[in-house]
């Protein structure tokens, strides 16, 4: 049994001097804009508007830190989820892309509290070139990866497994690191939490 005890927004930051300073362990979440990242964070936190799907101005191009307390099989654990800015916008200037890359790779390379990166891909669309690029950033930083395939409610049951297998092959990730997820149906919430806690705690 898994229960959310508390979930709150902590802070927004664009650089290390603004990251929370305590030693609480972190799992970062990253994906193309519109992949369902805010919806997944809300589903994991069991809150409707923690990460706003409407997108608060100023928060979308920065790192957002959330603190979550969960109870798993009677034991309480605290983690921070770190929402990294989305990528893959059609119209970004080179300078903007560089700013994004600098912000994300600084976090991925330097953050001592970071234990796991949760990468999101749209289950129906599959991994795009920008998703592959993101994965290579995470790997270059030496961080463990867990992949969430979002919006599986849009696929028929028979199509989910082949999509997961294709992602596994394309991205060179074992199938047990890939989680089918639907924020709408709350599919995968418990499984992602278990894998996350196993990795970070
Ligand atoms: P973000 O930009 O990655 O934070 O994506 P959002 O969470 O804002 O979601 C983008 C769009 O996808 C919104 O219209 C959501 O309603 C939709 N969406 C998110 N999760 C799901 C899901 O599990 N199933 C379906 N069918 N749509 C979803």
> Is the pLDDT confidence value at 168 over 80?
yes
N- to C-terminal Cα distance for the chain? 17
Determine which residue's CA is closest to atom 18 belonging to ligand 1. Answer: 36
Beta-carbon contacts of 158 under 8 Å, excluding residues fewer than 6 positions away, are: none
Average pLDDT, the chain: 94
**For residues 179-194, average pLDDT:** 97
Q: What percent of the chain has pLDDT over 90?
A: 86
Q: How far apart are CA 117 and CA 146, in angstroms?
A: 6
Q: Is 182 in the pocket of ligand 1 (CB under 6 A)?
A: yes
Residue corresponding to tokens 């592959």: 132
Q: Is 188 in the pocket of ligand 1 (CB under 6 A)?
A: no
Report the alpha-carbon angle 29-67-194, nearest 5: 60
Q: Tens of pLDDT along 21-67?
A: 999 999 999 999 999 999 999 999 999 989 976 566 556 789 999 99
User: Per-residue confidence at 186, pLDDT binned at 50, 70, 90?
Assistant: very high
91 or 24, greater pLDDT: 24
201 or 193, greater pLDDT: 193
pLDDT for 123 equals 98
Determine which residue's CA is closest to atom 26 belonging to ligand 1. Answer: 151
Q: How far apart are CA 187 and CA 181, in angstroms?
A: 5
pLDDT for 53 equals 60
Phi/psi-derived region of residue 80, left when phi > 0, alpha when psi is between -120 and 50, beta in every other case: beta
Pairing of strands 75-83, 63-72: antiparallel
pLDDT for 90 equals 72
Rounded to the nearest angstrom, the distance between the alpha carbon of 33 and the centre of ligand 1 is 9
35 DSSP 8-state letter: S
pLDDT for 201 equals 85
**97 three-class SS:** helix
pLDDT for 83 equals 96
Q: Is 36 in the pocket of ligand 1 (CB under 6 A)?
A: yes
Q: How far apart are CA 116 and CA 142, in angstroms?
A: 10
**For residues 2-15, average pLDDT:** 95
Asked if 114 contacts 30 with a C-beta cutoff of 8 angstroms, the reply is no
145: nearest Cα among 80, 76, 192: 192
Rounded to the nearest angstrom, the distance between the alpha carbon of 187 and the centre of ligand 1 is 14
Rounded to the nearest angstrom, the distance between the alpha carbon of 166 and the centre of ligand 1 is 22
Rounded to the nearest angstrom, the distance between the alpha carbon of 7 and the centre of ligand 1 is 20
Closest ligand 1 atom to 34 CA: 2
Q: How far apart are CA 23 and CA 36, in angstroms?
A: 28
**For residues 147-173, average pLDDT:** 98
Element (H, E) at 135: helix 129-140
Q: How far apart are CA 3 and CA 72, in angstroms?
A: 7
Q: Is 183 in the pocket of ligand 1 (CB under 6 A)?
A: yes
Determine which residue's CA is closest to atom 8 belonging to ligand 1. Answer: 53
């Amino acid at each position: 049994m898994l229960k959310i005890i508390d979930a709150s927004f902590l802070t927004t930051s664009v650089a290390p001097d603004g990251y929370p300073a305590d030693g609480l362990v972190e799992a970062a979440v990253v994906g193309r804009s519109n992949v369902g990242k805010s919806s997944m964070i809300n589903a994991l936190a069991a809150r409707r508007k923690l990460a706003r799907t409407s997108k608060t101005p100023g928060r979308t191009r920065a790192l957002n830190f959330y603190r979550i307390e969960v109870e798993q099989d009677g034991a309480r654990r605290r983690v921070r989820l770190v929402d990294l800015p989305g990528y893959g916008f059609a119209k970004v200037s080179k300078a903007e892309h560089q700013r994004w890359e600098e912000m994300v790779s600084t976090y991925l390379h330097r953050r001592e509290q970071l234990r796991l990166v949760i990468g999101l891909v749209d289950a129906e669309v599959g991994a795009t070139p920008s998703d592959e690029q993101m994965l290579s950033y995470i790997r270059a930083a030496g961080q463990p990866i867990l992949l969430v395939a979002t919006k599986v409610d849009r696929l028929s049951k028979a199509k989910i497994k082949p999509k997961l297998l294709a992602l596994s092959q394309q991205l060179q990730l074992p199938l047990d690191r890939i989680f089918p997820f639907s924020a709408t149906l709350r599919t995968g919430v418990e499984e992602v939490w278990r894998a996350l806690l196993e990795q970070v705690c």
